[in-house]
Copies of this chain bind each other. A is one copy, B any other.
C-alpha cells in the first residue's frame, strides 16, 4: 500500500530527500561507494580532488547519521576507517539513475518544443 501525497506533502518529502543529498560533496562520495565499493577516508580524499578534510568528514558524518552510509572503524594504530553504502543507501542508486535518464531526455524533447511554439504563433 503506497503512501498518499498531496502536492504539499509530495514536495515536502522530495525536499527531505534532497536535503539528505544536498551538500557540495555528498553525491560524489556516494557515486564512489555505489555498487558495494568500500573506501577508506584517505581513499576518498584522493578520489575527490579539491575536497578538504573538514568537508569530507562533515559530509560523511551526515550521510552516516542519515543511514545512507555506514562507517566501520577498526581499533588499531594507525587508525583504519572504512565507508560503504548501507542497504537502503544502495537502493538510492536506481532512483538517481532515473534522474540521469530524465536529464538525457532533454535533447530529444527540445525540437518538439520548438515546433509547438511555432504552431502556437497567433494563438489568442
A37 to B121, CA, bound (A): 22
Binary contact readout A1-42 vs B (1 if CB under 8 angstroms, 0 otherwise)? 011010110110111111001100001101110100000000
Q: Per DSSP, are chain A's interface residues mostly helix, strand or loop, or mixed? A: helix
Q: Which of A14, A30, A94 has the most chain B CB within a 10 Å cutoff? A: A14
**Interface residue from B86, B100, B113 paired with A10 (Cβ < 8 Å):** B100
- Identical copies in the complex: 2
Q: Give A contacts to B, CB under 8 Å.
A: 2-3, 5, 7-8, 10-11, 13-18, 21-22, 27-28, 30-32, 34, 47, 67, 72, 74, 86-88, 91-92, 94-96, 98-106, 109-110, 112-113, 120, 124
